[in-house]
């Protein structure tokens, strides 16, 4: 696939997706959304890739959100079934995705980061859902994910004011996992990804799926049903399920095959 608005590189088991529209602070338009839909589909379907990192080109912005100038000029709007940046409505990917936020993450950019499993932010990162300032609302998941991740009152404080939040405050609020020095968000995210890759990918996928599905039902139902979740069943039937205990008993590092 020929990419126009993003780049994809691989570091072993890790896929790095870079939003690449630096001339507009990596703001995204319809064509970019459809491209990223395919990019993350390929990651999800590639058995050799276990973790993805998404970041922005340059050192100023992760993603400034929706390309309002494109919209105002009458540009085509919309995205595929996976939502903004190919992420905000992607509910069927059991592989971990990490946001390496290297600058501004506004509106849809913040919503895309919230849709990731981890957020690593550089010290110069700034987060906001400023849609009300331009007569819009954060309907790509921000209005629902942010309250679930940091609590209702804190989220309301951000959403109703549209105020900017620094990386340090994001860490204190709980939606940022680590604050890295300026320019080092990607390196820090790669360290997280490499640590994840030391674990069984089957166990990681089972854990993510159980968390996601379990969060939508009661605790009793989640615990009662989890062994029937597809990724959990796949884990139990996998070679990794045998390799892990065997490696522990033999006092050696496990050799994961991911199936």
Residue 6, strand partner residues:
19
**Residue in 131, 169, 184, 243 annotated catalytic:** 131
pLDDT attached to residue 69: 79
What tens digit of pLDDT does each residue of 152-185 get? 999 999 999 999 999 999 999 999 999 999 999 9
**Residue in 23, 35, 111, 221 annotated catalytic:** 111
Cβ density class 223-241: b for 16+ within 10 Å, e for less? eeebeebebbebbeebebb
Question: CB neighbours of 11 closer than 8 A, spacing ≥ 6?
Answer: 190
What tens digit of pLDDT does each residue of 69-91 get? 777 666 577 788 999 999 999 99
pLDDT attached to residue 241: 96
CA–CA gap between residue 217 and residue 195 (Å, rounded): 30
Annotated catalytic residue 42: no
CA–CA gap between residue 198 and residue 155 (Å, rounded): 34
pLDDT attached to residue 75: 59
Topology of the domain comprising 6-198 = 2-enoyl-CoA Hydratase; Chain A, domain 1 (3.90.226)
Q: Average pLDDT by consecutive 10-residue portion of the chain (259 residues)?
A: 94 98 95 97 97 96 89 71 97 97 97 98 98 93 97 98 98 98 98 98 98 96 97 97 96 93
CA triple 228-229-235, angle to 5 deg: 95
Annotated catalytic residue 131: yes
Q: Specify the pTM.
A: 0.96
Calculate the CA dihedral of residues 105, 82, 3, 62 and round it to 10 degrees.
10
pLDDT attached to residue 84: 96
């Amino acid at each position: 696939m020929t990419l126009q608005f993003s780049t994809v590189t691989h570091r072993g088991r890790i896929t790095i997706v870079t939003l690449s529209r630096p001339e507009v602070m990596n703001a995204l338009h319809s064509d970019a959304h459809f491209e990223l839909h395919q990019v993350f589909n390929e990651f999800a379907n590639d058995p050799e890739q276990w973790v993805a990192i998404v970041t922005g080109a340059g050192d100023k912005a992760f993603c400034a959100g929706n390309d309002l100038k494109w919209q105002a000029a009458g540009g085509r709007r919309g995205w595929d079934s996976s939502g903004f940046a190919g992420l905000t409505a992607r509910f069927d990917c059991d592989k971990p995705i990490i946001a390496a936020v290297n600058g501004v993450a506004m509106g849809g950019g913040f919503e895309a980061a919230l849709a990731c499993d981890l957020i690593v932010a550089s010290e110069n990162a700034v987060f906001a859902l400023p849609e009300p300032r331009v007569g819009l609302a954060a309907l790509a998941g921000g209005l629902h994910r942010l309250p679930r991740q940091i609590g209702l009152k804190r989220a309301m404080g951000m959403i109703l004011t549209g105020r900017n939040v620094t990386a340090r405050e994001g860490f204190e609020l709980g939606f940022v996992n680590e604050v890295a020095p300026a320019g080092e968000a990607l390196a820090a995210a790669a360290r997280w990804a490499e640590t994840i890759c030391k674990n069984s990918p089957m166990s990681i996928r089972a854990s993510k799926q159980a968390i996601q599905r379990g969060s939508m039902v009661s605790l009793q139902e989640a615990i009662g049903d989890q062994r029937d979740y597809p990724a959990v069943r796949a884990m139990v039937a996998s070679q990794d399920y045998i390799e892990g205990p065997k490696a522990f008993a033999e006092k050696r590092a496990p050799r994961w095959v991911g199936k």
